[in-house]
Amino acid sequence: MDNLDIKILSMLLNNCRESDRQIGKKLGISGGAVRARIQKMQEKKVIEKFTIKVEPPILGLGVLYIVVSGQNIKEILEQISLIGEPFFVVPCVGGITVCSIVVKENLQQKIVLVNKLMKDVRVLSIFEAENPGFDSNLTKTDLEILELLVKEPRQKIEKISKEIGLSTKTVTRCIDKLQENDGIQFTVIYDPTKIKEFIPHAVLAWIKGDLRETLEKMNNEFDESFMQIPFISKNQIVLFMYSHNIFEMDELTQRVRNMDNVISADLFIPKKISFPLKWLNQAINDAKRSPTLHISYQTN
């Protein structure tokens, strides 16, 4: 992989529905060249699949983030599944696994349960994702289109229109609405171990002070090193970055730690990334059956 590949991958991570031509225009190459590079990354298993990341609060659900020592993924999944459905699971270098679970209610009680149920692993950190005020105003049509896009996020508008019997204009309007929602991300799952020329990593920064102001400063400082758009969770900012070597990675992490309002920053180097979708398919089905489609986010 070269710099163009990593930039294409970054764009797909932030919006995999962006066309090859649109990506090429931004990078100064043809759409055909972009398509060839994407196909090559798929053949080499750098890109595993296109997917959708939907923040659970959009569908009225809560999220718990957990950091544990241990990398027996099967065992960890079995244990967290006793509390809720897995949202993402990321084993990292150093014997640490970062994961999150989707829960329906009583989040504080679930935190206590996690600590009791997790066996043969040590819970290093557990916290509830703050409701960030995502727009939950989804219609049944939005949900039907979202359900199709979960199966194939890059599928063409014409194909969706034909499958659900709606005009391309209506489908386009619904997809635009989904893409404008900060809690819905059309993205890809990639294999970090297949990227030999770069090191993907995440920095979890604990903030004291104005989160939005700090995030804006981070965007200005590290824009060229971002693989994905950062996100905020309670008093943390998670930065998804890439470096050319361990020295650059260490320097970036230290720069984050030295910023105003940053209390501390932890570095995570992922070995594998997974986004189980069982919870999402179930949540969409439940929402479609709702007579009012009024989705509210409950934390207790």
Where residue 253 sits, what CATH number does that domain have? 3.30.70.1150
Query: Mean pLDDT throughout 97-102?
Result: 89
Do 62 and 105 touch, CB atoms closer than 8 A? yes
Q: pLDDT, tens digit, for every residue of 65-95?
A: 888 887 677 777 777 777 788 998 999 999 8
pLDDT in tens, 217-229: 999 999 999 999 9
Comparing 68 with 179, the larger pLDDT belongs to 179
Query: Per-residue confidence at 146, pLDDT binned at 50, 70, 90?
Result: very high
Mean pLDDT, the chain, as a whole number? 88
Q: Which residues of 209-237 are buried (b: 16+ CB within 10 A; e: fewer)?
A: eebeebbeebeeebeebbbbebbbbeebb
- Mark whether 209 and 290 lie in a shared domain: no
Q: In terms of domains, do 134 and 258 share one?
A: no
DSSP characters over 79-132? HHTTTSEEEEEEEETTTEEEEEEEESS-HHHHHHHHHHH--SSEEEEEEEPP--
Write down the pTM of the prediction: 0.86
- The pair of structure tokens assigned to 188 is 């890809």
* 289, 158: one domain: yes
Q: Are residues 35 and 110 in the same domain?
A: no
pLDDT recorded at residue 99: 87
Does the pLDDT value for residue 296 go beyond 50? no
Q: Could you tell me the residue range of the domain that residue 37 belongs to?
A: 3-44
Q: Is the pLDDT of residue 149 over 80?
A: yes
Asked if 31 and 87 sit in the same domain, the reply is: no
- Residue 115 in this model has a pLDDT that exceeds 80: no
Checking if the pLDDT of 295 tops 50, the result is no
Residues 180 and 90 in one domain: yes
In this prediction, residue 240 carries a pLDDT of 95
Share of the chain above pLDDT 70, in %: 91
Degrees, nearest 5: CA angle 263-14-192: 75
Q: Say which CATH number the domain at 27 has.
A: 1.10.10.10
Residue that is written with structure tokens 């990227």 in the block: 195
Query: Burial of 293 by CB count in 10 Å (0-12 exposed, 13-18 middle, 19+ buried)?
Result: middle
Q: Are residues 136 and 242 in the same domain?
A: no
Q: Are 153 and 231 contained in the same domain?
A: no
Residues 114, 23, single domain; the answer is no
How far is the C-alpha of 276 from the C-alpha of 258, rounded, in Å?
A: 35
Q: How confident is the model at residue 294 (pLDDT cuts 50, 70, 90)?
A: very low
Total domains in the chain come to 3
Residue predicted with more confidence, 297 or 118: 118
Predicted confidence at residue 233, as pLDDT, reads: 72
Band of residue 26 on the pLDDT scale cut at 50, 70, 90: very high
223 plus 277 within the same structural domain: no
If one compares 149 and 235, the residue with the highest pLDDT of the two is 149
Residue 239 predicted with pLDDT over 90: yes
Q: Which of 23-37, 74-88, 108-122, 251-265 has the lowest mean pLDDT?
A: 108-122
Helix or strand or coil: residue 8?
helix
pLDDT band with cut points at 50, 70 and 90 for residue 298: very low
Question: Do 129 and 150 sit in the same domain of this protein?
Answer: yes
Percent of the chain exceeding pLDDT 90 equals: 61
Mean pLDDT of 127-139: 70
Q: How many whole angstroms separate alpha carbon 38 and alpha carbon 121?
A: 38
Confidence bin at 148 (pLDDT 50/70/90):
very high
Residues 67 and 122 in one domain: yes
Mean pLDDT of 169-181: 93
Rounded to an integer, what distance in angstroms lies between the CA atom of residue 247 and that of residue 240? 17
